[in-house]
Amino acid sequence: MIIPCIDLMDGKVVQLVQGRDKALEGDAPLEMLRKFAAFSEIQVIDLDAAMGKGENSALVELLAARAKCRVGGGVRSAERARRLVELGAHRVIVGTAAFTPALAGIAAAVGPARLVVALDSRGGKIVVKGWQESTEFTAEEVVSRLEPYCSGFLCTYVDKEGLLEGTDLAWFRRLRAATGHEITAAGGITTVEEIRELEALDIHAALGMAIYTGRLDLAELAGAFPSRQG
């Protein structure tokens, strides 16, 4: 499955390079939904909430009411997770809180079936708080421990995020070997060939910069992967 991404910052759709520098702004949120209409699920990340700099709840609600969305960004409490579901989120993505005692409460609040744990890797280590802080863990080390709390993992190779240089398929192969849960790959995916290799591993592809810049054509993707759309 291909999952187009909508990242929100300051009320706008944006794309960042490695979570730091804004590279471009997309169209208005509802126009992005129109462009992504051929795809069965959309990923919505509230970057302001992830970085602790506010939130874009009105836009999240707007998007979640009109499309099947997995939503993340700043989900560090059971209350926030419940609120996103109330706003219409199909699934909730939790990152930083997955490495705190709050995870059990979040999973209990919305149920593991609705929860996706984000494993964001930079320099081989998991990063949290909007990719601003590094931990001592690797994704491969923690994935099995986190399985009881979620139904899938969003695994971002931050080193390549937004650079349009390709991703690290070897890392995703190691993750696939480490868990039977659903995996969604993100971070630097640039070519149809990479998407096919991920699909062969039964790994979904979350796409951002490559489709916003036109490196990957949405119509061609919808035609090339028809069995993976809703």
Within 10 A of 230 (CB to CB), how many other CB atoms are there? Answer: 8
Residue 46 is among the residues annotated as catalytic for this protein: no
Beta partners for 159? none
Judge whether 157 and 174 are in contact, CB under 8 Å. Answer: no
Q: Which of 21, 120, 202, 217 is catalytic?
A: 120
Q: Is 217 a catalytic residue?
A: no
| Cβ count near 89 (within 10 Å) | 24
**Residue 76 vs residues 12, 140, 192: alpha-carbon distances, Å:** 23, 22, 34
For residue 145, the one-letter residue type is: R
Contact 117, 34 (CB under 8 A): no
Which of these is catalytic: 7, 159, 168, 217?
7
Catalytic residues: 7, 120
